[in-house]
Homo-oligomer: A and B are copies of this chain.
Amino acid sequence: MTLAKATLKERTFILMAARTHTASLSERPDKREAILAAALELFAERGFHGTAVPLVAEKAGVGAGTIYRYFESKEALVNALYQQWKGVMLQSILLDFPHEAPIRGQFHAFWRRMFGFAQEHPQAFAFLQLHHHAPYLDARSIALEEASHQPARALFEETRKQQITKDVPPDILIAIVFGAFIGVARAAQEHRFALDEATLDQAEACVWEAIRR
Q: Chain A residues in contact with chain B, CB under 8 A?
A: 45-50, 133-135, 166, 168-169, 171-184, 186-188, 190, 192-193, 199, 202-203, 205-207, 209-211
Contacts and interface: CB of A to CB of B under 8 A. Distances in A.
A180 B186 CA distance: 13
Specify the main secondary structure of chain A where it touches its partner: helix
Contacts of A180: 175-176, 179-180, 183, 210
A175 B166 contact: no
A188 B192 CA distance: 28
B183 A176 contact: yes
Nearest to A205: B166
B48 A203 contact: no
Given A47-B49, A166-B206, A186 B175 contact: yes
A183 B193 contact: no
Contacts of A49: 47-50
A178 B182 CA distance: 10
A203 to B, nearest CB: 6
Contact of A135 (B45, B175, B182, B184): B45
Contact of A179 (B47, B169, B172, B181): B181
Contact of A183 (B169, B175, B190, B199): B175
Given A50-B48, A135-B45, A184 B172 contact: yes
A187 B171 CA distance: 8
A209 B180 CA distance: 13
30 contacts: A46-B135, A47-B47, A50-B135, A166-B206, A168-B202, A169-B193, A172-B184, A172-B187, A172-B199, A172-B202, A172-B203, A172-B206, A175-B180, A175-B183, A175-B184, A175-B186, A175-B203, A176-B183, A176-B184, A177-B183, A178-B183, A179-B179, A179-B183, A180-B180, A182-B182, A183-B183, A206-B210, A207-B210, A209-B209, A210-B210
